[in-house]
Amino acid sequence: MQLNYDFDRKDSVFLVPLGGLGEIGMNMMVLGHRGKAILIDCGVMFPDPTTLGIDLIVPDIQFLNDSKLQIEAIVLTHGHEDHIGAVSFLIEDLKFPPIYGTPFTLALTEDRLREQGRLNRTKLHSVLPGSEFKVGTYFKIKSIQVTHSIVDSMGLIIETPVGTIVHSGDFKIDSDPLDGKRIDEKSLIEAGKNNPLLLLSDSTNVERAGWSKSEHSVGQGIEELFRKIRTGKIIVAVFASNIHRIQQIIDSAKRVGRKVAFVGRSIHGNVEIAQRLQYLKCDPAQIVAASEVAGQGDGKIVIIATGTQAEPRSALYRMSLNDHPEIRIHPGDTVIFSSRFIPGNERNISHLINNLYRRGADVLDGETANVHASGHAHQEEQKQLIDWVKPKFFLPVHGEYRMLVKHAKLAKQCFPKLQVLISENGDVMELSQRAFQKVGKAHAGKIFLDEGATDLHEELLKDRRQMAHSGLVVVSLVVEKDEGRILEGPDFDIRGVNDEVDLDSLRSELLGRFKELSREARGDDIEVEEEFRRVTRRFFRRANGVKPVVIPLIYEV
């Protein structure tokens, strides 16, 4: 479907996901009317083993420029990286629209903007759950308190020129959240009474039956475990932003007479913000610095650390290699993963766990002990939300493609009259009183960033993967410019390829090919390079079955 859509239409609004639909991560939804639009979330995705050397992936926003849409605001539902992580990278290209979010979300976003030197030019509007605010020219939003694995998460009830849209944000229905702030059921039911048009809902846990565990029950699980472990250090790995989990670990530690040390840069950052906003409370006398850990008695310390996904620079990873400047793991210590293993990271995590065992530690995780609860709704909660909101149309969001399909099926099974659409990144959807449909395909893609935050294209990653997979061969040659004679070479520089091959025969094959080339072709660098690349790759393929990346270097003198 070619994109030939009039974004100026009066009788409908349009939605275009630029990330998050068909994948977990990089959430970004464009919602617009008459040439103006807002963005809901602006997140990153983390690299996997196929994106070698890449640190971050952000949505490609080319479509916004191509369609000349004016982005009037960014609304952030909560502070997880897959919702806020791309703001500091994209805000300039987006021409610095104002940002709306809850205090914790904005505090995290502010830190990143400051790091990137873009804070001065950004307007941040703090909104509290339950408040109503106008966003851009055409939209009015009521922020809805939801429960999730980070404090200050919100869903959205959006009044648009054609009707109401409800966006769940990332949510679960925790009937017993630590701060007592339950999901705003009342507002959602109220919205449901006014014939809302569309519900967008979190699909992450559609493969899990029943209800998710409450955060409180995890606290009990952690405390029971702490009571059983009488000796050694306890190291708990958590997501740095999971403030309620951190609070429960601190409280449990206090009750069993252990002090707490925070280890890892992002933990310190998140804890500092949470304390400032009074989302986290702890007795300063209970906290010790990482440098004081070694001086604490046996069985007297809990370390709260980053590194649940075996990130190479994280505190836990460095401890596992005995490479942390302050913390040593000793036999008898216990490491608890109070987290989920994100698919794609299992290999690295298992490597990390093996190294923790090498240090003599015992390792427990959320699968084997009651030390983790998901922040995302299970099936019964997903159904409950639809039942509250009673929308006319339904769009599953925040999920890999199969999750979107399963969420659509689940919704349809329980609410047969519901009209369901399954969409992926780039689909242009039109919503009116009468219909909700796909009307075209916009460009959507990924921008790969390395540590220097330079854009890397898919093509370049393909080269990296090929070099990693099959190695690299540089073929160099010195050619006399006028006569087209070879003065030196070809010589080979071989990396990551078995070089016990008959290089003399490759050399004579290349020389033979060179001589066969016409006088004209010999003077044409590109033609010679192409020929050398082809012959060399074919040679290695015959010799040892690999097709390395070949770089011909022709020097003319």
The residue ranges that bind Zn ion (CB under 5 A) are 80, 82, 170
Closest contact distance (angstroms) between CB of 153 and Zn ion is: 7
Q: Select 82 or 110, whichever has its Cβ closest to Zn ion.
A: 82
DSSP string, 333-351: -EEEE-S---TT-HHHHHH
Q: Select 20 or 232, whichever has its Cβ closest to Zn ion.
A: 20
- Return the residue matching tokens 């047969």: 416
Alpha-carbon distance of 89 to 110, in angstroms, equals 12
- Return the residue matching tokens 């006014």: 194
One of 33, 372, 376, 398 is an active-site residue; which one? 376
Closest contact distance (angstroms) between CB of 144 and Zn ion is: 15
Q: Select 200 or 302, whichever has its Cβ closest to Zn ion.
A: 200
CB atoms under 10 Å from CB of 389, counted, come to 23
Q: 202 catalytic, yes or no?
A: yes
Q: Select 320 or 425, whichever has its Cβ closest to Zn ion.
A: 425
Angle at 170 between CA 385 and CA 66, to 5 degrees: 110
User: Do 144 and 157 contact (CB within 8 A), yes or no?
Assistant: yes
Closest contact distance (angstroms) between CB of 170 and Zn ion is: 3
Closest contact distance (angstroms) between CB of 168 and Zn ion is: 11
Helix, strand or coil, per DSSP, at residue 356: helix
Q: Select 15 or 84, whichever has its Cβ closest to Zn ion.
A: 84
Closest contact distance (angstroms) between CB of 134 and Zn ion is: 26
Closest contact distance (angstroms) between CB of 340 and Zn ion is: 12
Alpha-carbon distance of 244 to 144, in angstroms, equals 19
User: Do 110 and 140 contact (CB within 8 A), yes or no?
Assistant: no
Q: Select 27 or 536, whichever has its Cβ closest to Zn ion.
A: 27
Q: Which of 415, 416, 441, 412 is nearest to 428 (CA)?
A: 441
User: Do 359 and 320 contact (CB within 8 A), yes or no?
Assistant: yes
Lookup: tokens for 2: 């070619």
Closest contact distance (angstroms) between CB of 45 and Zn ion is: 10
Q: Select 33 or 80, whichever has its Cβ closest to Zn ion.
A: 80
Alpha-carbon distance of 80 to 41, in angstroms, equals 10
Which residues are paired to 486 by β-bridges? 479
For residue 312, whether the previous peptide bond is cis, meaning omega lies within 30 degrees of 0, is no
CB atoms under 10 Å from CB of 266, counted, come to 17
58 to each of 87, 410, 476, how far by Cα in Å? 9, 30, 38
Tell me which H or E stretch contains 84: helix 81-84
One of 60, 202, 365, 427 is an active-site residue; which one? 202
Closest contact distance (angstroms) between CB of 228 and Zn ion is: 31
Q: 455 catalytic, yes or no?
A: no
Within its chain, how far is the Cα of 77 from the centroid? 15
Relative to beta strand 28-33, strand 36-40 is antiparallel
Helix, strand or coil, per DSSP, at residue 489: strand
Q: Select 168 or 247, whichever has its Cβ closest to Zn ion.
A: 168
Helix, strand or coil, per DSSP, at residue 45: strand
User: Do 78 and 87 contact (CB within 8 A), yes or no?
Assistant: no
**Helix extents (H) in 309-425:** 315-320, 346-358, 379-389, 401-414
Q: So which residues are the catalytic ones? A: 202, 376
